[in-house]
């Protein structure tokens, strides 16, 4: 309504109008969340069609027709492709611009779509294919059941733990290993850049849960004096390629861990509950020298007041752990310090790096 007197020219909004505006914004927010799945499915589509690779191969922005011609299909539907590209341009995954002299719209790469390149030095394409795989989307439907009944979402969806599922399904096992390898490569580059003096005095480094060995192999490129051991479940290391200076050892971290000067664990402990993590940490403690040993953990640390680009993703990853892991979770700095102390590592420091994860360096004394 409009007020009187000297403030007649000032429009005053009634409480009812404010409430209506807030409700409208709330409705829009719920619609966005409701269809958030479309974001990941559109990314999966782009990765599956290799759209970023097609544009990259031309070394310049190209038309929709040029993209369609390069898609591995005898008769791609350009109308469907146009709608997918419109969405991805709006999401700032690709660019779209009219050429100066007129003609068809030209589509180009952005810093985001460069992470979709299959042949890129650093790529998230394998991770997108894994997280959008039907076997990993199914457990998300079980979160409410977990709240009501307890239990593990992945087991409710598939009747077994993710590790057992992977060992029984070679196709999924490859998708999983490829995804872990690509994220390891991204993380380890940030670790090596930020942890400059951390690897210098290490003679033997065991990567616990190292997958196919890519992370420890990257460390050895910068520190060739280190003897690297990639330690993971037998069915995982069975598919691991040969790397200079790296030996692959199959085993179970809940039983024992190979002896080393230092132990490296990237995104392992977040997959387990506190009780299991303490068992793993105590086995790490047994495998390290009393006075000089250390454990180097690369994992998510939730800090709600950091205001960096990965804040929301770190909190989101806690839900990913609910959906995919065996009672896994992401932890705050306080939770990490308590866990490490109970596992035999009373002294630690947290090092921020340009990545989703942080370095947690911990000592037994």
Catalytically annotated residues: 270
The residue with tokens 């580059």 is 189
Q: If we measure between CA atoms, which residue out of 326, 330, 340, 273 comes closest to residue 301?
A: 330
Q: If we measure between CA atoms, which residue out of 58, 288, 270, 243 comes closest to residue 183?
A: 270
Residue 267 near residue 357 (C-beta atoms within 8 A): yes
Residues counted in the chain: 365
Query: How far is Cα 191 from Cα 222, in angstroms, rounded to an integer?
Result: 11
Q: If we measure between CA atoms, which residue out of 148, 147, 210 comes closest to residue 184?
A: 210
Query: How far is Cα 337 from Cα 343, in angstroms, rounded to an integer?
Result: 10
Give the ranges where 251-345 is alpha helix by DSSP (H).
Answer: 274-286, 311-324, 333-342
Pairing between strand 227-232 and 204-208? parallel
């Amino acid at each position: 309504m409009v007020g009187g007197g000297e403030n007649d020219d000032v429009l005053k909004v009634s409480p009812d109008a404010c409430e209506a505006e807030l409700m409208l914004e709330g409705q829009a927010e719920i619609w966005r969340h409701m269809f958030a799945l479309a974001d990941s499915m559109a990314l999966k589509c782009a990765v599956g069609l290799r759209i970023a690779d097609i544009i990259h191969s031309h070394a310049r922005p190209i038309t929709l027709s040029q993209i369609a011609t390069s898609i591995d299909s005898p008769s791609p539907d350009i109308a469907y492709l146009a709608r997918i590209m419109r969405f991805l341009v709006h999401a700032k995954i690709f660019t779209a611009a009219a050429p100066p002299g007129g003609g068809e719209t030209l589509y180009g790469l952005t810093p985001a779509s460069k992470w979709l390149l299959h042949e890129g030095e650093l790529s998230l394409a394998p991770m997108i294919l894994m997280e959008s795989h039907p076997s990993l989307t199914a457990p998300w439907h079980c979160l409410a059941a977990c709240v009501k009944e307890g239990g593990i979402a992945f087991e409710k969806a598939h009747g077994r733990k993710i590790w057992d599922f992977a060992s029984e399904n070679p196709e999924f096992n490859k998708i999983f290993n490829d995804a872990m390898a690509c994220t390891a490569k991204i993380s380890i580059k940030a670790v090596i850049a930020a942890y400059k003096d951390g690897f210098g005095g290490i003679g033997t480094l065991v990567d616990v849960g190292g997958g196919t060995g890519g992370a420890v192999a990257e460390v050895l490129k910068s520190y060739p004096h280190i003897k690297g051991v990639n330690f993971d479940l037998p069915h995982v290391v069975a598919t691991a390629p040969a790397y200079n200076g790296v030996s692959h050892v199959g085993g179970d971290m809940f039983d024992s861990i190979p002896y080393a000067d230092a132990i490296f664990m990237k995104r392992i402990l977040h997959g387990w509950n506190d009780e299991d993590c303490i068992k793993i940490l105590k086995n790490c403690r047994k495998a390290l020298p009393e006075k000089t040993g250390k454990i180097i953990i690369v994992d998510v640390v939730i800090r709600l007041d950091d205001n960096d680009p990965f804040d929301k993703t770190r909190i989101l990853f806690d839900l990913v752990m609910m959906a995919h892991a065996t009672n896994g979770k992401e932890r705050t700095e306080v939770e990490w310090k308590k866990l490490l102390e109970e596992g035999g590592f009373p002294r630690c420091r947290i090092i921020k790096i340009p990545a989703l994860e942080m370095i947690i360096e911990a000592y037994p004394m």
